[in-house]
Amino acid sequence: RSMFYSSQAPYRRRAASLVVRAEGRINPDIRKNEEKVVDSVVISELSKSLTAFCRCWRSGTFPLCDGSHVKHNKATDDNVAPLLVKK
């Protein structure tokens, strides 16, 4: 009988739900009507010599970085940051 202890329905169901949440969505809000949020930029057309692109999916100016990664990192003990693109 003890062989089946860890696969009893109530225990298993709770554990599976936690794993799914821990590996959940990265993008909570941005352009959820698009199947895939791809952005294309032509660097020679950018006005600034250095541009920061968001990789945290929390920016209000996505695909540009607006510094929102700082709040995300603090709230979740994460270490994400932008891609800096130089012409």
In contact, 61 and 82? CB cutoff 8 Å = no
Interface ranges with a second copy (CB under 8 A):
18, 20-28, 31-32, 34-44, 53-57, 63, 69, 72-73, 75-87
Is residue 48 among the annotated active site residues? Answer: no
In contact, 43 and 63? CB cutoff 8 Å = no
Q: Pick the closer one to a second copy by CB: 1 or 13.
A: 13
Please give the Cα distance from 12 to 21 (Å, whole number): 15
Q: Give the nearest distance from C-beta 4 to a second copy in angstroms.
A: 25
Which residues are tagged catalytic?
36
